[in-house]
Chain A
Amino acid sequence: MSRWILHVDMNNFYASVECMFNPALKDVPMVVGGDEQARHGIVLSKNEIAKTRYGIQTGEVLWKVRQRCPHILVVQPDMEKYLKISRMAMEIYGEYSDRVESFGLDEAWIDTTHFGKKDSVHVADALREKIRKELGVTASVGVSFNKIFAKLGSDMKKPDATTVLSEENYRNLVWPQPVSSLLFVGRATEKRLSRLGIETIGDLACYEKALLRTSLGKWGEILWSYANGLDCTPVAPKDIHDQIKSIGNSTTTPRDLRCEDDVKLVLYRLADQVAGRLRANGLCGSTICLSVRDCMLHTFERQCRVHYPTQLSGEIALAAFSLFRKNYNWQHPVRSVGIRITDFEENPNVQLDLFGCAYRRDRTIKLETTLDKIRNRFGNQILYRASMMTAPEITDIALHQEYTRTGI
């Protein structure tokens, strides 16, 4: 039996929410942008005028945007507002299905197989109307028989439109699209595919599967199945989407980091935050991921496993710093770093040893838990490592990109 899946994408989400709360913003070119003083000056979202009249794109740097549109209005992001609207949207989706899987704040898949094809399209239209009236923003909906095409459909007509990609029409509608519009095909994969002469999704679908495996490994085969509409990943049930998958913090520091000591300080600061959030959620993680971006905007991510699942800032920072030393060659100063923990276990069983390490570890856990309590009561700034005082200009950072990824 064919599945029916909707993918809902709320258009220009941050900017639309700002316009909903202040309708005067609809009539002027406006973007939601990061703090330029703290070197976060990029466009996070733009309103319709900024997009259509000035061609402003998400991710553009604000000084460049000002060259084209000197009177652009820049609004600071307000995550509380966006989370509120996102939660309300999830409630609306939940009225139609018990399989709803969020994909960021502004996107979600909804399994509507139980409605059948015709009614799934009606549900898509009803959802758009409800979102417009109840939340004051518009959404595009893709309706298809798998998650990948549903997502592609929601990107095809914007704003406020429904696109149906069925088993009958996908060759005509999906295959002429550039391969980069397929979910999970980023710039690097696009380049590799281009070297094989693959420019469109149709090119990918008709390519020899075995050759793709040779060139791109297992990932090549997966992309081939996506292009042929063979993705069979289920939409996660509603009660599972809150399950935390990873916890991480990253920051672009107010000045570039020029030596290992700088990086170490920032990593300890990030590790303190991440460890506190792990403990708040009662989780221990076994895999530490480090992300680094240099001042030329080259980014890489490396990960390692730790001996015991951990929620201790010292262990996390040490692992992250060791990853950094192994993998960074200091060709350029560092612009931003991030730490992310995955592979969670709740209350893991830890192997005891003969030399009392477990006992010392237990004491550290108690110490850090006490620090959490003090910080919860008096604020994060009340207690910090003395080393942070040696370079307050880089450690006194707003951890703006605190994120928790959920899902299965």
Chain B
Amino acid sequence: MKQIYVEVLAKHSREGEVEPLFILWEDGRRFCIDRVLDKRRRASLKVGGIGTRYTCVISGKKRYLFYEDDKWFVEGK
């Protein structure tokens, strides 16, 4: 299992809040983040790394998206 770094379209609010909206996959696919259920600092125990973990709902499934040192990653298989 490894970290998969991804491009993310996000909204940066005036208050400094960051809300991820879309994940752009390497092959050009674009995944809409339907909802962000939770946001907190967490280490990824599966693939390693530490940062702000967004618990997102993508196509009806719960997925973790991490923001670590200005880079976004998801947990690969």
Q: What residues make up the interface of A, taking CB atoms closer than 8 Å to B?
A: 20-23, 85, 88, 133-137
CB distance from B52 to the nearest CB of A (A): 10
Kindly supply a per-residue 1/0 record for chain B positions 1-37, scoring 1 wherever the CB is within 8 Å of any chain A CB and 0 otherwise. Answer: 1000000000000000000000000000000000000
4 more A-B contacts (CB under 8 A) besides A133-B42, A134-B50? A20-B43, A20-B50, A88-B50, A135-B50
**Do B42 and A85 touch (CB < 8 A)?**
no
Q: Could you say which of B41, B42, B48, B50 contacts A22, with CB atoms under 8 Å apart? A: B48
Q: What residue in chain B is nearest A22 (Cβ atoms)?
A: B48
Q: What residues make up the interface of B, taking CB atoms closer than 8 Å to A?
A: 1, 40-50
Q: What residue in chain A is nearest B49 (Cβ atoms)?
A: A21
List of A residues within 8 angstroms of B41 by Cβ: 88, 134
For the complex of A and B, the 8 pairs showing the least CB-CB separation, nearest first, are A136-B43, A21-B48, A134-B41, A23-B48, A22-B48, A20-B43, A135-B43, A134-B42
Q: A-side binding surface: helix, strand, loop or mixed?
A: helix
Q: What residue in chain A is nearest B47 (Cβ atoms)?
A: A23
Q: Could you say which of B40, B42, B46, B50 contacts A23, with CB atoms under 8 Å apart? A: B46
Q: What residue in chain B is nearest A21 (Cβ atoms)?
A: B48
List of A residues within 8 angstroms of B50 by Cβ: 20-21, 85, 88, 134-136
| CA gap between A135 and B44 in the complex, in Å | 9
**Do A134 and B43 touch (CB < 8 A)?**
yes
List of B residues within 8 angstroms of A137 by Cβ: 43
CB distance from B74 to the nearest CB of A (A): 15
Q: Could you say which of A20, A133, A135 contacts B48, with CB atoms under 8 Å apart? A: A20
Q: What residue in chain B is nearest A84 (Cβ atoms)?
A: B50
List of B residues within 8 angstroms of A88 by Cβ: 41, 50
Q: What residue in chain B is nearest A17 (Cβ atoms)?
A: B50
CB distance from B67 to the nearest CB of A (A): 14
Q: What residue in chain A is nearest B40 (Cβ atoms)?
A: A134
| CA gap between A20 and B51 in the complex, in Å | 12
| CA gap between A23 and B76 in the complex, in Å | 13
List of A residues within 8 angstroms of B40 by Cβ: 134
CB distance from B43 to the nearest CB of A (A): 3
List of B residues within 8 angstroms of A133 by Cβ: 42-43
